[in-house]
Amino acid sequence: MILFPAIDLKEGQCVRLLKGEMDSATVFNDDPGAQAKLFQDAGCAWIHVVDLDGAFAGEARNGDAVDRILEAVDVPVQLGGGIRDMAAVDAWLEKGIARVILGTVALRDPELVKAACARHPGRIAVGIDARGGMVAVEGWAETSSLSAVDLARKFEGCGVAAIIFTDIDRDGALGGVNVQATADLANAISTPVIASGGVASLEDLAALKAAGAPGIAGAISGRALYDGRIDLAEAVGLMAEPAKEGPRC
């Protein structure tokens, strides 16, 4: 499994939100490039970046900060937030982003996701953010009537590289990752699933590895890395170890 350290961008700074609320932002670093370099130097093989302002605006708002991240590191970067049309997908991939994450548009226009996968094989991920099991969009400001599993199933077989599943109610709250919901999703589809939201300890990462869901390909962690609850080097090492089979979720 892969550990994806998270860089959430708001007004050019690295922040973390509590349960997706923009007015709850805590600034952890005002230099996104330097933060990305710290993650790379600690052994991280990927970096996960979200343009929070872009997610609300529906278009890029932290392009300069993303550029600084790309200049600072050699490891692949995946980016989400406000990417809603093919032109934006093309532009980010041409700029050097390794994988684009499509969230709101996956619900609004699933055919665009499928077209993007055909055009850029292996470079499109779908972000599914759920509140109470139901998909939330527009920077988590709206909750739909579609379940996370049902949305994920729409993209089976079309070449989506990964489903990034976030439990909004746990995001930034350090209350523990929702292992059961993540495993249920991973066991319901063939697309790899990356867990997000609430990863607060090495025990959370170990629980994901032992969940009996081979489809869980990795986990995203943010606040717990920034405040030292998770030692980054230990986490990278743990995720690289072979999974120890536990009770199947």
Q: Which residues are marked as active site?
A: 8, 129
Cβ–Cβ < 8 Å for 72, 38 = no
Q: What amino acid is encoded at 185 in this protein?
A: L
Exposed, middle or buried by CB within 10 Å (0-12, 13-18, 19+), for 134? middle
Q: What percent helix, strand, coil does the chain show, rounded to 5? A: 35, 30, 35
- DSSP secondary structure code for residue 228 in this structure: T
* Residue keyed to tokens 């982003």: 97
How far out from the chain centre does Cα 68 lie? 19
C-alpha pair distances (Å), 196 with each of 19, 171, 187: 12, 7, 16
Cβ–Cβ < 8 Å for 238, 230 = no
- Which pair of structure tokens corresponds to residue 33? 């490039």
Residues 6+ apart with CB under 8 A from 146: 107, 134, 135
Q: Among 228, 213, 144, 222, which Cα is nearest to 181's?
A: 213
